[in-house]
Chain A
Amino acid sequence: MDKVMRMSSEKGVVIFTKSSCCLCYAVQILFRDLRVQPTIHEIDNDPDCREIEKALLRLGCSTAVPAVFVGGKLVGSTNEVMSLHLSGSLVPLIKPYQSILY
């Protein structure tokens, strides 16, 4: 879906969320702790919400939200982000986008 492709390929870390989703909030907190300012797209306020959800699932995201993209590439949902982080592979991925000072 074009909209999703466009939004997800924005620079830096992009996260698709829903305002009611508390796991999305948890993921945002994690990135904040890692000194990253992700771009948040709250899709439940978007008229194309259902389409976006379907597109995200089709792209391979385990759950539609939160959907995390880094540098235009899909990282995944909460599961994938947590696994990456614990294995130490998340930080190298987001390093270009980390603020030096916090």
Chain B
Amino acid sequence: MNSTSTHFVPPRRVGIYEPLHQMGMWGDSFKSNITNGNMNTPSHIIIPNNQKLDNNLSEDTSHGTAGTPHMFDQEASTSRNPDKIQRRLAQNREAARKSRLRKKAYVQQLETSRLKLIQLEQELDRARQQGFYVGNGIDTNPLGFSETMNPGIAAFEMEYGHWVEEQNRQICELRTVLHGHVNDIELRMLVENAMKHYFELFKMKSTAAKADVFFVMSGMWKTSAERFFIWIGGFRPSDLLKVLLPHFDVLTDQQILDVCSLRQSCQQAEDALTQGMEKLQHTLADCVAAGQLGEGSYIPQVNSAMERLEALVSFVNQADHLRHETLQQMYRILTMRQAARGLLALGEYFQRLRALSSSWATRHREPT
């Protein structure tokens, strides 16, 4: 209680009680609430039991608390006409009541805004600490960045944003170059840069996986449509081949053989990893479900599960290794020009997925 008057009722956020005699004191109490940083003032609500909402004229005046509207009428009431006086007093009461309601509404507004401001400041602080990066798709977290406080992940998200920008730039360049005339050296440079760019991503993911493997596994940094196709933290190597292969019209016999062989071995490797992953899931589930369920204890189970989770990092790394090798083999099998066209096709495929995510996220926002 931050006032000396025993009749004083501190204003509450949800104005359940009508603080009647608050006119003068009102501003003070609100100010002190703010400076105390105290939104939920412990309200020692001492409501004098003769306070009622609007009806007690005489008792209001007799308490003599500061700032009552009835003060104005002290002198008028001493003169002649009692009816006029009554009417005047009634009008004043009404005016005072309306004024109080307005103030109540205003206070509520202020308090809501203040809360919002505190919240925004906290978010801003957090964002500054993490090296703020706005998510890739419109559909990511409405706050615009990952809610995780993990610095490794925040760093990864920022790097990934740059990665996508560079990717888009490279795709543009490939497109321009392939529609025009390009010399072999320049073409080779573009292709090798594009390959290196993918390999860079795998390195980034490996670091991020050590920071938070679940984050990488679930593809949280990707847009929603990309996430739909996720396989152990990224795209399926076999999908990569499916996307690329229709774009090569002229393949030599040797190339056809090599491509078929690659398709098969890629699929087999992928299946093997998938099954290994399933086994890991079963093992983890058994671990978590071990012992008595329902006793409220879980520490040993959680601890033993934690040990198993290290294996998840190896799986993510293996999956990326598979992606790496698939790209590498395609590069080996194809001519430089074919590789360029393939990388362009692959890049545009992912761009389309990202565009799909955006369209999907904004589909309800069209004005009706």
Say yes or no: is B280 at the interface (Cβ < 8 Å to chain A): yes
Q: Digitize B239-278: 1 where CB-to-A-CB distance is under 8 Å, 0 elsewhere.
A: 0000000000000000000100110011011011101110
* Complex contact A22–B315 (CB within 8 A): yes
Residues of B within 8 A of A90 (CB): 265
* Complex contact B275–A86 (CB within 8 A): no
Say yes or no: is A47 at the interface (Cβ < 8 Å to chain B): no
A20 to B265: give the CA distance in the assembly, Å. 26
Tell me which of B261, B272, B325, B329 contacts A26 (CB under 8 A): B272
Q: Digitize B315-331: 1 where CB-to-A-CB distance is under 8 Å, 0 elsewhere.
A: 10010011001101100
Say yes or no: is B84 at the interface (Cβ < 8 Å to chain A): no
A87 to B266: give the CA distance in the assembly, Å. 10
A29 to B267: give the CA distance in the assembly, Å. 13
A45 to B229: give the CA distance in the assembly, Å. 39
CB distance from B46 to the nearest CB of A (A): 67
The number of chain A residues touching the other chain, given as a range, is: 20 to 34
Q: Digitize B137-180: 1 where CB-to-A-CB distance is under 8 Å, 0 elsewhere.
A: 00000000000000000000000000000000000000000000
Residues of A within 8 A of B322 (CB): 82, 86
A23 to B276: give the CA distance in the assembly, Å. 6
**Given the interface contacts A33-B272, A82-B269, does A23 sit within 8 Å of B325 by beta carbon?**
no
Most chain B Cβ neighbours within 10 Å, of A29, A33, A91: A29
Residues of B within 8 A of A85 (CB): 265, 268-269
Residues of A within 8 A of B332 (CB): 87
**Nearest-CB residue, chain B, relative to A89:** B265
CB distance from A88 to the nearest CB of B (A): 5
Tell me which of A26, A83, A86, A91 contacts B276 (CB under 8 A): A26
* Complex contact A79–B271 (CB within 8 A): no
Say yes or no: is B279 at the interface (Cβ < 8 Å to chain A): yes
CB distance from A25 to the nearest CB of B (A): 5
Tell me which of B261, B276, B277 contacts A88 (CB under 8 A): B261
* Complex contact A29–B265 (CB within 8 A): no
CB distance from A28 to the nearest CB of B (A): 8
Residues of A within 8 A of B280 (CB): 22
Say yes or no: is A98 at the interface (Cβ < 8 Å to chain B): no
* Complex contact B271–A82 (CB within 8 A): no
CB distance from A19 to the nearest CB of B (A): 10
Say yes or no: is A30 at the interface (Cβ < 8 Å to chain B): yes
A20 to B282: give the CA distance in the assembly, Å. 11
User: Which chain A residues have a beta carbon within 8 Å of chain B's beta carbons?
Assistant: 20-23, 25-27, 29-30, 33-34, 78-79, 82-83, 85-88, 90-91
11 A-B pairs besides A20-B308, A82-B322 with CB distance below 8 A are: A20-B283, A22-B279, A22-B311, A26-B272, A34-B268, A79-B321, A82-B269, A82-B321, A85-B269, A87-B325, A88-B265
Instruction: Give 26 A-B contacts (CB < 8 Å), ordered by A residue.
Output: A20-B308, A22-B276, A22-B311, A23-B314, A23-B318, A25-B275, A26-B277, A26-B279, A26-B318, A27-B272, A29-B275, A30-B268, A78-B314, A78-B318, A79-B318, A82-B269, A82-B318, A83-B321, A85-B265, A85-B269, A86-B265, A86-B266, A86-B269, A86-B325, A87-B329, A87-B332
